[in-house]
Amino acid sequence: LIVTMPVEQLKQCPEVQKTAEFLQKNMALQDWIMGWDTKPDRLHHPMRFVVDRQISAGAGHSGYPAMATKDWTNSIAAGSIIHSGSWGLWHELGHNHQSPPFTMEGQTEVSVNIFSMVCEVMGTGKDFESCWGGGMGPYGMSAEMKKYFSGTQTYNEAPNKVQLFFWVELMYHLGFDAFRRVALQFHDKPYDNGELSDEKKWEWVMNAFSRVTGKNMGPFFKVWRTPVSERAAGRMKDLPVWLPSRDYPACYTAEE
């Protein structure tokens, strides 16, 4: 990762080497969770992140280079990024890593945050409850989950933060390595992204998580109302059913 920022900001940084190593560690984590560290053809050039006084879109965007306004590197200048992390930086660089099998319809601003989560938790050392401001752990998301599971929205109709929590439940209980192993399965035998329907992509991911965990993930995907068929959800019925808890999702909807 190469970060381009104003010299006057860089001169303020109290621990340049330590901060640079922190940034490289987080970039390596994004490569790792997608299995890109096993794909030399993906890593010909460093990723680039540039801040400037005027950029082409919004406060930050992905691309080569990914860009943001100058205030995004204030935490690098202060050295505080090592402890505070940078959800937005990980998010924009995450878009550059975002690829099948986690790119189903509507996931552009959802599954990209898989990369923010791995950098915040594994890279920065935060707990799940302190991620994304309001918390991405089971306690912090309890109100949103009660509303979702008590309602009739499908997964694709839910707010982005609720949709992300579907992935977070998998991270929280199964670990980030499960995502890497799913990505490696895709690298080993990729599907034709242009030919596979959205439902089939969801089913592929469901089956991949079942294979890497040795658990039947179908009930979890159905509880979340993801677009998978009943037939596909029952395909791994010979494996033990996996849910985050025995009373899931009643753990969120039960009256106190």
H or E, element range at 4? strand 2-4
H or E, element range at 69? strand 66-69
Task: Tell me what the pLDDT averaged over the chain comes to.
Answer: 94
Using an 8 Å Cβ cutoff, are 93 and 2 in contact? Answer: no
pTM (predicted TM-score): 0.94
- pLDDT band of 255, cuts 50, 70, 90: low
Residue 178 has pLDDT above 90, yes or no: yes
pLDDT value at residue 224: 98
- Nearest Cα residue to 92 out of 128, 121, 58, 46: 58
pLDDT value at residue 76: 96
Residue 55 has pLDDT above 60, yes or no: yes
**Residue positions counted in the chain:** 256
Q: State pLDDT tens for residues 32-43.
A: 999 999 988 888
Q: State pLDDT tens for residues 230-243.
A: 999 888 999 999 99
Helices 142-150 and 160-174, axial angle in degrees (round to 10):
110
pLDDT value at residue 173: 97
Q: State pLDDT tens for residues 63-72.
A: 999 999 999 9
CA distance 68 to 41: 27
Residue 135 has pLDDT above 90, yes or no: no
- pLDDT band of 256, cuts 50, 70, 90: low
Helix ranges restricted to H, the chain:
7-12, 16-33, 74-78, 81-84, 87-97, 113-118, 142-150, 160-174, 176-188, 198-213, 218-223, 230-233, 250-253
Residue 112 has pLDDT above 90, yes or no: yes
Question: What percent of the chain has a predicted confidence (pLDDT) above 90?
Answer: 88
